[in-house]
Amino acid sequence: MTSIMPTPTLPEWRIADGLTEYPAALAAMQARVAGIRAGTAGEQVWLVEHPPLYTAGTSAKPGELTDPARFPSFAAGRGGQWTYHGPGQRTAYVMLDLTRRHGRVPPQDIRCYVNGLEEWLIRALTQFNVKGERRAGRVGIWVANPATGLDEKIGAIGVRVTRWVSWHGVALNVAPNLSHFGGIVPCGLAQYGVTSLAALGIPATMHDADVALRAAWDPVFGGQAHAAC
């Protein structure tokens, strides 16, 4: 387990060893959020990998879990619909006190916070020479398949804010088994595919992804106040 102690503008960065069971992750986030709210714990960015599983957001439709026997499924409590987590995907749980400014994100602005998470993933992807983009009406980060030109999702976003403390976060597809997404309609968007750095021909490791995420954090959430989104 690797940790960096927090400063006023830098949350603790924690990297979990091995595969983290989803119920344990939920319990750990809930405890950390309670500590942040009580002033007994600092902010944290927690990087994990999960065993193969599906999670349902608050807008998930039961019929969009198309293969319920394939992997365990869990109610996540976050916003959004169905998503997959598994080996080769870096999930970053972001627990921040949103009553104060974080770089470009002003206090108590959830829309700008989500925009900041999107920008974070986009900037991380640029370090692999991948152009990640937002799409109107579609949550997450998208890339154009170089072979077909069609949009495919490479990064998912799902958040929850409890009394102005954020939890849940983002998931970046580094090298997961993309066939595992076939048991759900990812984020309710049946007409679009999913991709990964590996599928784009980029042999990135999880460590490479962590380095990219850490380097992309400060330009969005760190340092002095930037222009708001």
Q: Provide the residue count of the chain.
A: 229
If you write DSSP's letter for every residue of 178-211 in order, what string do you get?
GGGGGGB-GGG-TT-EE--TTTTT----HHHHHH
The answer to whether residue 6 scores a pLDDT higher than 70 is no
Q: Please indicate whether residue 187 is annotated as part of the active site.
A: yes
Instruction: Write the DSSP string, 122-160.
Output: HHHHHTTT---EEETTEEEEEEE-TTT--EEEEEEEEEE
pLDDT tens per residue, range 39-71:
999 999 999 999 999 999 998 899 999 999 999
The residue from 25, 76, 143, 187 that is catalytic is 187
3-state DSSP assignment of residue 85: strand
Q: Which pLDDT score is estimated for 4? A: 40
Distance CA 206, CA 107 (A): 32
State the Cα–Cα distance between residues 112 and 224, nearest whole angstrom. 16
Answer yes or no: is 161 within a domain: yes
Q: What is the pLDDT of residues 86-114, one digit of tens each?
A: 999 999 999 999 999 999 999 999 999 99
CB atoms within 10 A of CB 91: 24
Into how many domains does the chain fold?
1
For residues 110 and 122, the answer to whether their CB atoms sit within 8 Å is: no
In a domain, 226, yes or no: no
Residue 136 has pLDDT above 50, yes or no: yes
CB 116 within 8 A of CB 229: yes
Q: Is residue 33 part of a domain?
A: yes
Domain CATH number, residue 213: 3.30.930.10
> How far apart, in whole angstroms, are the C-alpha atoms of residue 10 and residue 217?
9
Domain span at residue 180? 2-221
In a domain, 195, yes or no: yes
